[in-house]
Chains A and B, each alone.
Chain A
Amino acid sequence: MKKDLICIACPLGCRLTARWLNESAIEITGNRCPRGEEYGREEVVEPKRVVTATVRLKSGFLKRLPVTTKRPVPKDKIAALLNRLYTIELSAPVIRGEVVLDMADDGVQVLSSRTVKK
């Protein structure tokens, strides 16, 4: 069995092929770098995405704070994550990299993408 994929780990978009050598061994070809191999394997086993969104912010400067998940999140957890994010409201100051939501049970952390001083 084989499956054609497109690597989304970087904008080069290498065309990958995943081949099942047996039940559990998967061979990835077409990747230009090791990240592609990792992506390809994960995409056929448990696809994940980085989720970026904004949350409400009380600041004299900006109404929405851009946020990003620290790591890619399993696709089936994205909807619940977004719902949580849309209920959050933060106040400045916020620092880039600060944790704005920690869903420890799911291993999901959301970080601020931007520093807003006031």
Chain B
Amino acid sequence: MNTAEFDTLVIGGGASGMAAALSAAEEGWKVVIVEREEFLGGILHQCIHNGFGLHYFKEELTGPEYAERFSDMVESSKITVYLNMTIMDIMKEGDGLTVYGLSMDPGMVRFKVRAVVFANGCRERNRGNIGIPGTRPSGVFTAGLAQRLVNLEGFVPGKECVIVGSGDIGLIMARRMSWIGANVKAVVEIQPNPAGLTRNIVQCLNDFDIPLYLSHVVGKIKGKERVEGVEVIPLENGIQQPEKMFSLECDTLLLAVGLVPDNELARKIGVELNQETGGPVVDSRLMTAIEGVFACGNLLHVHDLVDFVTEESSRCGKFVSEFLIGKRPEKQYRTNPGKNVKYIVPNYYEGARENVFYMRTLIVKNNAILSVKVKGTEIYRKKLRHIQPSEMIQFSLKEEDFKLIKDKGVMEVSIE
């Protein structure tokens, strides 16, 4: 077996892996990216629509364009890249970490490194996760898989289509299917609010007069060999109203019922997981409870904006660099989600530097107030014009903000 030594190994060459690798390499470290696919860029290559990069590049790019800007930077850097290689295992050994990657050529490689960045993205929930009853005919796809088939393979999944779930992938696919000539009958969403970005409701559904059934569930899939239709049942106060059930004919069902961090590998090494995000619990420097193991991007928590993925992951690369020179935080304190907050990442903060936070709310509201309290004392307050669960909220606390508190401790973030 080949053995290779690096300072840092990055698992996954998507937006997050490339950003983390670039920012660690900038500090002079020997960095390797290991990517399972034939190319760098990850999920971005199947996201052929525009809407990427407005924050980071100050222009609107498609997914592949955004990916290529970064893969160009990786190519002209000193970063080593292994493509077509899957990371199979990772373990703590002595002071460092040993990571095993498998590929057709050169076969199994053992990497001896001092730090690892988990940047291996997320995966889709499927029918099993939401338990739709009925037959198991062909024609049922997860929306991300359908996106991949259409955009990378040129495969058309069907002609008459119903989409379950109003997350962004579902919405983007509603437009994509319409543009390739399919008839999208409806988007069915169990929640009273759409899960995707508002702009996608406008340009992917309203533009095509596709009805969005909020507070509705797909009760049953009909058809033996191939999907023939679905039964749709309205909810009232969360209770199904079977007498108001109606049927939609279709030959294809796309499930856009959410993404979860692909945490299998992280679990293997014994990283503690955050119940709310499905990703690892991390400290203020995006390090998991295992020394030298970091996490960022969709593997840490599912992002809706790639720009935020890039920001978080570049920061992660800098934290890796600090770790490698032996810098450790003095003392860290917990960050807890308070009222109307679903989660906050990272799960710890430290008082002696700037801390950047990402969070999601549980509610839809205009003119909301975000409030950060440490042991009951408010240290930060921000007005938010519009909030909803599908739109991630970012804020940062400067060193001065912490000067207000003499007695540091658990931080609670709430939204009213």
Q: Which of A32, A63, A67, A113 contacts B153 (CB 8 A)?
A: A63
Question: Which of chain A's residues have a CB closer than 8 A to the CB of B65?
Answer: 68, 96, 113-114
Contact B199 A52 (CB under 8 A): no
* Cβ-closest chain A residue relative to B306: A11
Q: Assess whether B199 is in contact with A8, with CB atoms less than 8 Å apart.
A: yes
CB 8 Å contact bits of A61-82 with B (1 = contact, 0 = none): 1111011100000010010001
B152 touches A96 (CB 8 A): no
Q: Is the CB of B152 within 8 A of A52?
A: no
Tell me which residues across on chain B come within 8 A of A114, comparing CB atoms: 45, 64-65, 68
B-binding residues in A (CB < 8 A): 6-11, 13-15, 32, 49-54, 56, 61-64, 66-68, 75, 78, 82, 96, 113-115
Bound Cα distance from A117 to B12, whole angstroms: 22
Q: What 1/0 flags go to B48-64 for Cβ under 8 Å of A?
A: 11110010000010111
18 more A-B contacts (CB under 8 A) besides A15-B386, A49-B203, A113-B48? A6-B198, A6-B201, A8-B199, A10-B60, A53-B48, A53-B180, A54-B151, A54-B154, A64-B152, A64-B153, A64-B154, A66-B45, A66-B62, A68-B48, A68-B50, A68-B65, A96-B64, A113-B64
**How long is the Cα–Cα vector from A11 to B68 in the complex, in angstroms?**
21
How many Å lie between the Cα of A84 and that of B385 in the bound state?
A: 42
In chain B between 358 and 385, which residues have their CB closer than 8 angstroms to a CB of chain A? 385
Picked from A6, A63, A66, the residue with its CB within 8 Å of the CB of B48 is A66
A56:B304 contact, CB within 8 angstroms: no
Q: Give the contacts of B56-81 with A (CB-CB under 8 A).
A: 60, 62-65, 68
Q: Which residues of B contact A50 (CB under 8 A)?
A: 50, 60
- Distance in angstroms between the alpha carbons of A63 and B46 in the assembled complex: 12
Can you list, as one digit per residue, whether each of B105-130 has a CB less than 8 Å from chain A (1) or not (0)?
Answer: 00000000000000000000000000
Partner of A8, one of B62, B64, B202: B202
Q: Tell me which residues across on chain B come within 8 A of A75, comparing CB atoms.
A: 207
Write out the residue numbers on chain A whose beta carbons fall within 8 Å of the beta carbon of B68. Answer: 96, 114-115
Interchain CA distance A61-B39 in the complex, whole Å: 10
Contact A11 B305, CB 8 Å, known A61-B38, A96-B65: yes
Q: Is the CB of A82 within 8 A of B179?
A: yes
- B contact residues around A11 at 8 Å (CB): 51, 54, 197, 199, 304-305, 391
Q: Which residue of A13, A51, A67, A115 has the most chain B CB atoms within 10 A of its CB atom?
A: A13
Partner of B152, one of A10, A51, A63: A63
Interface string of B148-190 (1 = CB under 8 A from A): 0011111000000000000000000000000110000000000
Count: A-B pairs, CB below 8 Å: 82
> Which chain B residues border A96 with CB–CB below 8 Å?
64-65, 68
Choose one: B45, B151, B197; the contact of A13 (CB below 8 Å): B197
Give 9 nearest A-B pairs by CB, closest first: A13-B198, A66-B48, A8-B199, A114-B64, A113-B64, A113-B62, A64-B154, A10-B54, A13-B199
With contacts A66-B64, A113-B65 taken as known, whether A53 is within 8 angstroms of B179 at the C-beta atoms is: yes
In the assembled complex, the CB of A112 is this many whole angstroms from the nearest CB of chain B, namely: 9
Would you list which residues of chain B between 184 and 219 have a CB under 8 Å from chain A? 197-199, 201-203, 207
Write the nearest CB–CB distance from A82 to chain B, whole angstroms: 6
B35 to chain A, nearest CB (A): 15
Contacts of B151 in A (CB 8 A): 54, 64, 66
Residues of A within 8 A of B50 (CB): 50, 52, 68
A52: which of B49, B197, B198 is its contact (CB, 8 Å)? B49
- List chain B residues, Cβ under 8 A from A62: 152
| Shortest distance between the CB of A97 and any CB in chain B (Å) | 8
In the bound assembly, the distance between CA atoms of A85 and B211 in angstroms comes to 27
- Please, which residues of chain A bring their CB within 8 A of the CB of B304? 11
Residue of B nearest to A97 (CB): B65
CA distance A51 to B68 in the complex (A): 19
In the assembled complex, 24 residue pairs joining A and B whose CB atoms fall closer than 8 Å, in A order, are A6-B199, A6-B201, A6-B202, A8-B199, A10-B51, A10-B54, A13-B197, A13-B199, A50-B50, A52-B48, A52-B50, A53-B180, A54-B48, A54-B151, A54-B154, A56-B154, A63-B153, A63-B154, A66-B45, A66-B151, A67-B48, A113-B48, A113-B62, A114-B68
